[in-house]
């Protein structure tokens, strides 16, 4: 693929992967791409665990699904992430950020705007939405052929110090390289983030990966090849929109927003929309 096609086509995969194992060659390319990232003083503070072990994947899937159901049922998820939710295409088009839940069972659609109220939460719980989402999530993780844990070396990763910031910065660059590589290889990738939100569940994840004291478990991802005609999960969102240049770029100082038609020969409305599914 062309470089900019890869960048524009990079996506988070919300749906299932093919059951096919990720080839050793592709696994090598993923971690090689990660190591090509920049890091402070070339410290390369990142570490990775690749696993295809079925028992490990099933166990992590259970923890992830359980965590999802609990966060939803207790309302933690909705409260914590409320500012990111959009309720219509029009709102998405105006703000050009956040996520829009456009796929949900018909019976829930009338309640879409109320999910952040106590009544809405009650309705969601009565319809068993937390359990549906938890089970969807468990299945997605369990059906993934490859998991990747991302860790940082604690001698570099010292939160609160500049070195801690640099380490996270470098790790982000390494993960982005992996993310782009999945696009080039016809693969998909998604955070398994719900266990992170429940400290005791994150500790279970650390035990599964035998994380030693000198390493910090930072993130876990599921990876695999993306089917051509992927079916969407029961409840799903879209987040393909991007801000216009004038919404995130300035010229000369923070007082003057950049023009939306920056560098365009024809009038433009900011960054190109991606066409990939
Ligand atoms: C720090 C960080 C945390 C994220 N957490 C999650 C997550 O928990 N679950 C998920 O499906 N996607 C997660 N994402 C992916 C974002 O939702 C996604 O990048 C965004 O909606 C834009 O969509 P795109 O990646 O398909 O372009 C995360 C991304 C980042 C950088």
Instruction: Let me know whether 237 and 262 are in one domain.
Output: no
Rounded Cα distance between 142 and 217, Å, is: 20
Instruction: Let me know whether 140 and 258 are in one domain.
Output: no
Instruction: Let me know whether 126 and 260 are in one domain.
Output: no
Instruction: Let me know whether 165 and 267 are in one domain.
Output: no
Instruction: Let me know whether 163 and 261 are in one domain.
Output: no
DSSP 3-state percent helix, strand, coil across the chain (nearest 5): 45, 15, 40
Instruction: Let me know whether 150 and 257 are in one domain.
Output: no
Residue 97 pLDDT class (50, 70, 90 cuts) = very high
Q: Tell which atom from ligand 1 comes closest to the C-alpha of 172.
A: 31
Instruction: Let me know whether 157 and 253 are in one domain.
Output: no
Beta carbon of 49 within 6 Å of any ligand 1 atom: no
Task: Decide if 33 contacts 177 (C-beta within 8 A).
Answer: yes
Distance between Cα 99 and ligand 1 center (Å) = 10
Beta carbon of 99 within 6 Å of any ligand 1 atom: yes
* Whether residue 110 has pLDDT greater than 80: no
* Whether residue 188 has pLDDT greater than 70: yes
Number of domains in the chain: 2
Helices 24-35 and 162-184: crossing angle in degrees, nearest 10, is 140
Residue 163 pLDDT class (50, 70, 90 cuts) = very high
Beta carbon of 35 within 6 Å of any ligand 1 atom: no
Instruction: Let me know whether 263 and 132 are in one domain.
Output: no
Q: Which residue's CA is the closest to the ligand 1 atom numbered 5?
A: 191
Q: Which CATH number covers residue 58?
A: 3.40.109.10
β 85-86/99-103 pair status: parallel
Distance between Cα 55 and ligand 1 center (Å) = 26
- Domain span at residue 253 reads 249-277
Residue 276 pLDDT class (50, 70, 90 cuts) = very low
Name the one residue in this structure whose structure tokens are 């966060």.
71
* Whether residue 249 has pLDDT greater than 80: yes
Residues 6+ apart with CB under 8 A from 91: 100
> Helix (H, G, I), strand (E, B), or coil: what is residue 202?
helix
Q: Give the other-Cβ count within 10 Å of 184's Cβ.
A: 17
Instruction: Let me know whether 72 and 157 are in one domain.
Output: yes
Beta carbon of 23 within 6 Å of any ligand 1 atom: no
Q: What is the pTM of this model?
A: 0.93
Instruction: Let me know whether 30 and 63 are in one domain.
Output: yes
Beta carbon of 117 within 6 Å of any ligand 1 atom: no
User: What pLDDT score was predicted for residue 273?
Assistant: 56
Alpha carbon of 239 to those of 70, 86, 138: distances in Å? 24, 10, 22
Instruction: Let me know whether 174 and 116 are in one domain.
Output: yes
Instruction: Let me know whether 255 and 177 are in one domain.
Output: no
């Amino acid at each position: 693929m062309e470089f900019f096609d890869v960048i524009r086509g990079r996506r988070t995969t919300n749906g299932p992967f093919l059951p096919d194992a990720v080839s050793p060659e592709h696994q090598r390319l993923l971690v090689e791409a990660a190591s090509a990232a920049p890091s402070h003083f070339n410290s390369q503070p990142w570490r990775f665990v690749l696993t295809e072990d079925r028992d490990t994947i099933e166990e992590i899937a259970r923890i992830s699904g359980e965590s999802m159901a609990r966060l939803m049922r207790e309302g933690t998820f909705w409260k914590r992430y409320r500012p990111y939710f959009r309720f219509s295409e029009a709102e998405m088009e105006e703000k050009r950020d956040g996520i829009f839940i456009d796929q949900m069972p018909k019976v829930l659609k009338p309640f879409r705007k109320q999910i952040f109220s106590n009544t809405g939460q009650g309705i969601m719980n009565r319809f068993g939405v937390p359990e549906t989402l938890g089970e969807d999530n468990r299945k997605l993780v369990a059906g993934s052929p490859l998991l990747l844990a991302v860790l940082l070396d604690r001698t570099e990763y010292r939160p609160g110090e500049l070195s801690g910031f640099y380490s996270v910065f470098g790790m982000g660059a390494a993960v982005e390289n992996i993310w782009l590589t999945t696009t080039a290889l016809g693969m998909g990738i998604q955070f398994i983030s719900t266990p992170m939100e429940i400290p005791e569940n994150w500790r279970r994840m650390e035990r599964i990966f035998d994380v030693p004291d000198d390493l910090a478990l930072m993130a876990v991802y599921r990876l695999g090849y993306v089917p051509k005609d992927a079916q969407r999960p029961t409840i799903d969102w879209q987040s393909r929109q991007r801000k216009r240049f004038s919404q995130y770029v300035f010229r000369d100082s923070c007082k003057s927003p950049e023009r939306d038609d920056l560098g365009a020969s024809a009038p433009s409305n900011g960054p190109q929309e991606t066409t990939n599914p």
